[in-house]
Chain A
Amino acid sequence: MVQLTEAEAGQVLVETEALKKYFPIKGGLLQRPVAWVRAVDGVDLVVRQGVSTGLVGESGCGKSTLVRVILRVYPATAGSVRFLGRDIVGLPERKLSFVRRNAQMVFQDPYWSLNPRMTVGDVVAEPLTVHTRLSRAEIARRVGAALEMMRLAASDAQRYPHEFSGGQRQRIAIARALVLRPRLLVLDEPTSAIDVLAQAQILNLLRSLQEEINLTYLTVSHDLAVVSHLCKAVAVMYLGKIVEYGLTEEVFRDPLHPYTRALISAIPEFDSVEKRQRVILTGSVPSAIRPPSGCRFHTRCPEAETSCAEREPEIIEAAPGHTVACLKVRGSALRQRT
């Protein structure tokens, strides 16, 4: 996979190579695997310090599975994940604490991700009590600082999650993720369960944190606008594979893969009530148990040709730092355009 130009690139935080995650479907008397769901099927992705990266795609494309394999929530089936330069695929759990300390996760629904029986202070302090041996006073100080960073009051630590609105709860969840001062924050649909006004507060906060505390995000979202707001780079996933990757601005301005174009055109826009040319995809995402031959998108692609069903497209660098896997895109032709 091609990276961004050296000038913008920081240290590599995460690097995956030919990463695969298959889930077994068990059947028969002995409950042996009879088939495999290929949730992630050969992904090369690099996330560098300072280059927050978005993963976009429809439900079932494997984007949430991918980040969970990267964080070793799920073991990988094949391929490698390097975190801060060390392969973590085969590491035993007790040696993973450097991953846990440096990469934290924020989940979609703050109504489920916060324990209702714990005070906000205990919720936010938990990563510190697990991973550090700080004194109680120091923990309380850091919890207060994390809450204040998320525009909550340090005194909110005494209260319980149910006393807060959805947006506030998500800020509590982010405070919990930040309290260990990680370098990578994995955000899985961070604002999908939240109303627009609260979403704006959170997006602005997350944006400013990137510079303030040198934080990098790996953001999973079906909302391309959220990704464009938070992430410098974006990877578009379809059926377990990355089909396009590049700077967010470039990918959204000049999408190369027909799937990316369809995704962008499907976003309902309200300021142009006039009709826009929409690429409507027919049908839903094919089964990840038996993905289509050749290019996996060919069954729904409005531009597919016969060769698309036969040959699997390689990932090519169509423009500097902008890669795409489509037989109909040729690198040289595009280079002239840019």
Chain B
Amino acid sequence: MLDVSNLTLGYGGEPVLEGANLRVEAGQFVSLVGPSGSGKSSLLRAIMGLQQPTSGTVTNDLDHSSIGILFQDDALLPWRTAIDNVSLGLRIRGKPWPDYRDTAEAWLGKLGLAGLEQRFPRALSGGQRKRVALAQVLALQPRLLLMDEPFAALDAIVRHRVTQDLLDLVEGEKISVLLVTHDLEEALVLSDVVYLLGQGPRARIRERYSVPISRPRDIMKARTNPSFAPLLQRLWQDLSAEVDMMRRVA
């Protein structure tokens, strides 16, 4: 589905990220974790085609319209109602009325926002706004979803619930996901595969971990799975070692 091969990224001068290899198979949930400045977000931007790699390749068997993107600082159009925000992508793609309205309404329903269609973003809570943004992306039926800490700004309880709903939908629709996060627990709970990026500059992918927890998952129960604690400990040690090593060098 997505294949990143020997990718090096930089803004002139020393590369941020070097020789990265990463794969996302169809229907897989893959996370990319690493310390700040490891080039996680740059890697995501390169996959989206927003940044030109210094060397290496990004290949995928998808056309651009089947990739969905969700960032932390995504904003809704303040002058559009919830339903008009959700249908925005559909309208851009030329879906006729009333099809786009029905589709948007259905997605708002799936995300638990039925009845709030005519609200303007100002009149929605932070969690509801995130759900609208999610509906906006999922309504386009992406095959691959790229996310960069999409829920970081939400408080813990809301974040937990939005994340569980996202996971249910992604599992149900068999969407492949590449998630960038610095939350190790979140990465393990959600993913089939976790990649650990080392400290930048010249960050490298240090390790690839498979997460053998069955699906569908409940993000609370996944934490009590016998493979969770040892994996988290390994991941934590590897990340700490990486950060310590760079400190010593500095």
Partners in one complex: no
Question: Contact residues of A with B, CB < 8 Å?
Answer: none
